[in-house]
């Protein structure tokens, strides 16, 4: 597996060649076109996701019928796992679980999250660097690197089909330029035939929607002292963790591209500082003043530690 991962990662260098780079503003416009194309065109992708955990083979179909979005993601190997979107409802069919439906405007597990980002807002904190042009899935692509100006986050390299502006490859890189995850299209189609294949979903019987109870307004006796530029609080909650038998207070933060949560609970005999990292996700735990502070999310370890160290206890907000 290690040899396969290295081979896939090295393909970038062998396929790339330089060209006259467009202005960075043009790169931002191309990324906006990618977001629009991904949500408006009728298309089908056969692609792989490569990470430290292995390789997934998937198929994703997307169509717009009567001004409503329909999408389907299917895991091609192993147990059948399928996710279907019909408008603002996303239904999950998982092995060993009762099917269920949740509210949502896209399938979170399908395309890389940056496909749905607001690049006009991200332009305040990220640079969009043109790299050149190359071929992916037998198509000419524009290549753009997305880098946070303050250096506190991972970076992306995106390959966009020159004709449709759809993303044909996305690499997530760490600070050392090592590939953490790769999304890579093997073959794709953009035509009316995809829309016809998806018409059956208009009248399909989907599982009932799950109701998520509204969270109560809570006030925490702590605040995040330092955050990467552009990160804003999205939600906060207090919940009881049965396995821990204690309440945990959480704040979720996002800049529109990466997200993480800060979790605070009472320390106990099992609490200890630790760092865990799996691919893009980092778990950084600190123990201070009888409190266990854990940062979980899409962050480099150095950034997660700085956030955890900066949490101010006893500061109500």
CB 194, CB 24: distance < 8 Å: no
Q: Quick one: pLDDT at residue 8?
A: 38
The two tokens of residue 79 are: 């147990």
The two tokens of residue 197 are: 């294949």
HSE-CB of 2 using CA atoms within 13 angstroms: 0
Q: Quick one: pLDDT at residue 24?
A: 54
Residue 284 CB neighbour total at 10 angstroms:
26
The 3-class secondary structure across the chain, one letter per residue, is: CHHHHHHHHHHHHHHCECCCCCCHHHHHHHHHHHHHHHHHCCEEEEEEEEECCEEEEEEEEEEEECCEEEEEEEECCCCCCEEEEECCEEEEECCCCCCEEEECCCCCCCCCHHHHCCHHHHCCCEEEEEEEEEEECCEEEEEEEEEECCCCCCEEEEEEECCCCCEEEEEEECCCCCEEEEEEEEEEEECHHHHHHHHHHHCCCCCCECCCCCCCCCCCCEEECCCCCCCEEEEEEEEEECCCCEEEEEEEEECCCCEEEEEEEECCCCCCCEEEEECCEEEEEEEECCEEEEEEECCCHHHHHHHHHHEEECCCC
Distances (CA, A) of 290 to 23, 143, 262, 276, 315: 52, 49, 16, 21, 15
Considering Cα of 99, then 109, then 26, then 10, what sign does the dihedral take? Answer: negative
Considering Cα of 136, then 139, then 142, then 147, what sign does the dihedral take? Answer: negative
* pLDDT by 10s per residue, the chain, length 317: 444 344 334 334 433 433 434 445 699 999 999 999 999 999 999 999 999 889 999 999 999 999 999 999 999 999 999 999 999 999 999 998 999 999 988 998 778 989 999 999 999 999 999 999 999 999 999 999 999 999 999 999 999 999 999 999 999 999 889 999 999 999 999 999 999 999 999 888 889 888 766 666 778 999 999 999 999 999 999 888 776 778 899 999 999 999 999 999 999 888 899 999 988 999 999 999 999 999 999 999 999 999 999 999 986 65
Q: Quick one: pLDDT at residue 16?
A: 40
How far is 132 from 278, CA to CA, in rounded Å?
31
Non-local CB neighbours of 108 within 8 Å, separated by 6+ positions: 90
The two tokens of residue 13 are: 């260098």
């Amino acid at each position: 597996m290690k040899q396969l991962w290295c081979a896939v990662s090295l393909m970038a260098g062998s396929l790339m060649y330089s060209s006259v780079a467009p202005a960075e503003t043009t790169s931002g416009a191309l990324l906006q076109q990618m977001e629009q194309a991904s949500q408006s065109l009728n298309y089908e992708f056969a692609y792989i996701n490569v990470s430290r955990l292995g390789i997934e083979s998937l198929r994703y179909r997307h169509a717009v019928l009567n001004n409503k979005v329909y999408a389907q993601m299917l895991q091609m190997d192993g147990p059948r796992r399928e996710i279907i979107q019909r408008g603002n409802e996303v239904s999950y069919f998982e092995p060993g679980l009762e099917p269920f439906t949740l509210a949502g405007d896209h399938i979170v597990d399908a395309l890389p999250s940056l496909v749905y980002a607001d690049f006009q807002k991200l332009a305040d904190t990220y640079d969009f660097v043109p790299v050149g042009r190359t071929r992916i899935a037998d198509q000419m692509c524009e290549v753009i690197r997305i880098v946070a100006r303050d250096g506190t986050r991972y970076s992306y390299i995106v390959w966009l089909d020159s004709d449709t502006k759809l993303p044909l490859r996305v690499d997530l890189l760490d600070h050392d330029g090592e590939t953490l995850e790769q999304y890579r299209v093997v073959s794709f189609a953009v035509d009316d035939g995809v829309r016809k294949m998806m018409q059956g979903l208009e009248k399909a019987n989907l599982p009932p929607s799950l109701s998520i109870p509204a969270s109560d307004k809570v006030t925490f006796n702590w605040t995040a002292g330092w955050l990467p530029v552009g990160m804003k609080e999205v939600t906060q909650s207090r919940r009881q963790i049965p396995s821990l038998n204690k309440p945990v207070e959480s704040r979720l933060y996002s800049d529109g591209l990466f997200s993480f949560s800060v979790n605070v609970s009472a320390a106990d005999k099992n609490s200890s500082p630790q760092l865990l990292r799996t691919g893009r996700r980092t778990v950084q735990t600190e123990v201070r003043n009888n409190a266990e502070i854990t940062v979980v999310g899409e962050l480099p370890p150095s950034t997660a530690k700085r956030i955890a160290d900066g949490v101010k206890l006893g500061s109500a907000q």
